[in-house]
Structure 1
Amino acid sequence: MRKREEASTRDRILAAAERLFSHLGLERATIRGIAAEAGVNIAAVNYHFGSKEALERETFGVLAERVNRDRLARLQLCLDAAGARAPRLEDLVTALVAPYLEGGPGKPGLLPQLILLLSLPGASDKSKRAVATAFDEVAARFVDAFARALPQLSKAELWWRYNLVIGATVYTVGNSGGRRLLRLSGGAADPTQRGELLQHLVAFVSAGLRGETEISTLTLPSGGARTTKGGKR
């Protein structure tokens, strides 16, 4: 009975942390507020997690597991539908990025925010390792699937492109990138419109993955700067 009660308390704290992190942001959500949201005292939060940083990392782990499970299930559906044929690239990309968009109504998913936070220079080594390894198996599965859809590309090239895809996705879906896009576009490009965001993201990512030229075959101008008739840009 005691173990069940402790597990229930821990789960309630994690659920409360996810809600407040999503609603208030990582900086404004406090241990006191999370404890109140969970219906426990601050001592219970400290007992189960020890610090706000540890609670953020644990919340990241729960979200990462949920997203990975969703992505792999979607990936398997794509592969089953394709059978012996090459899977459709846009379907694979949707399976990869769509779970990142899941959050509250009108809000981007919390996971990209946590990935950015825990990757910052000031984050602990434990937090950085958590980010670095949480998606390794899923990444390998998707790169293998991309290799079936894009047989003209080498595995090394696909790994480069996969890494760039994740960087673009995390920034675009995370709060910082989303707020900046909304501000710069004067509201014309609204990332809180989840369906529109997904359409643009899938189209952009698919085009980047599908490019037939291996980067190793490109020759940049001297100094790496692209030039035009009007000079450098």
Structure 2
Amino acid sequence: MDKKSHTRTRLMNAAEKIICDAEGSPDISVRRIAAAAGTNVASVSYHFGSLEELAVATAQRVYDRLNSERLTELQRCIDRAAPASPSVGAIVRALIGTSLRWSMDPESPYAVLQYMNRLATFSEHPEHFDPLINGVKPHRIFAEYLRRAAPWFTEEEIAWRLAAALGVRSQFTRHAPRCEVLTGRPLKGDAEPVIAELCEIIEPMFAQPARRARPVQRRVSLAPSNAV
């Protein structure tokens, strides 16, 4: 790793730790991150352009780790089902499980993604966040396996259901306090009962409808969904 890459990595490592340890946005500053990285304040601007762009780069790195874990879980359920296709339930669990586990684990780096989402809400440069927030590449992989598991739906209908499933997940990862009030269940500790409950809710969306007339197949682009 050259010196420039090494400094960028140190800054992202420091940003991740500062964000995860922060009690609020005022605790997250260029000065604190630079000090934790053992470099000068100007290095943030030199290597990233701004604190906002450093946060996006750090969030992208965290999101890549989350997606790697999520796709590993999907691969496990594919291997277990082989030579058949995995079930809808197994695919849905792989889709939503990692995000929920991370969001309920105070030791995970999920706070970086939450901070990035807050920044995006008020940013004067939404283009900084578009590739991360509106990226759907990992979701297309899940869409393909859901299409195989529920062949009675068109690609478009799978995309709608996938977007709805991600919306259900995001309610519990991004709005945990509200969901705690509504459900009467604390969203801390063991995530598995929550994952099981949400899978039970989501899975029927992909069930074969009774006496359903098969519509004409159309190819569509999967609509953008929230990145985390």
TM-score (norm: length of structure 1): 0.74
* Deviates further, 62-71 or 188-197: 188-197
Partner of 2:140: 140
Deviations 1:202-224 (A, max 9, x none): 333324x334449x99xxxxxxx
Identify if the C-alpha distance between structure 1 residues 23 and 62 changes in structure 2 by more than 3 Å, giving closer, same or farther: same
Tell me if structure 2 keeps the 8 A contact 1:75–1:92: yes
SS at structure 2 position matched to 1:102: helix
Encode CA deviations 1:24-73: one digit per residue, 9 max, x unaligned. Answer: 26723222222233232222222211211101111121122222222222
Question: C-alpha distance in 2, partners of 1:90/1:42?
Answer: 49
1:202 alignment partner in structure 2:
199
Residues 1:59 and 2:58 are matched in the alignment:
yes
1:6 shift after superposition? 2.6
Q: Is the 8 A contact 2:11 2:33 kept in 1?
A: yes
2:20 is matched with which residue? 22
Of all paired residues, the percent bearing the same amino acid is: 23
2:121 is matched with: 120
Say if 1:150 and 1:210, in contact at 8 Å, map to a contact too: yes
Q: Secondary structure at the match of 2:185?
A: coil
Give the match for residue 83 of structure 1: 82
Q: CA shift at 1:111, angstroms?
A: 5.7
Asked if 1:190 is matched to 2:214, the reply is no
Name the CA distance, whole Å, in 2 between partners of 1:104 and 1:7.
Answer: 32
Shift of 1:144: 0.8
Which secondary structure does the structure 2 equivalent of 1:189 belong to? coil
Contact map agreement 2:31 2:41 (CA 8 A) in 1: yes
Q: Structure 2 CA distance, aligned partners of 1:12 and 1:113?
A: 21
* Matched ranges for 1:36-185 at <5 A: 36-100=35-99, 101-102=101-102, 105-106=105-106, 109-110=110-111, 112-114=113-115, 116-117=117-118, 120=121, 122=123, 124-134=125-135, 136-174=136-174, 177-182=175-180, 184=181
Larger Rg over CA atoms = 1
Any idea what SS the aligned residue of 1:147 has?
A: helix
Please give the per-residue CA displacement for 1:169-202, whole angstroms capped at 9, x wherever unaligned: 223112xx113333x259x411122423333333
Unaligned runs of 5+ in 1: 218-233
Q: CA RMSD in A?
A: 3.0
Aligned length: 208
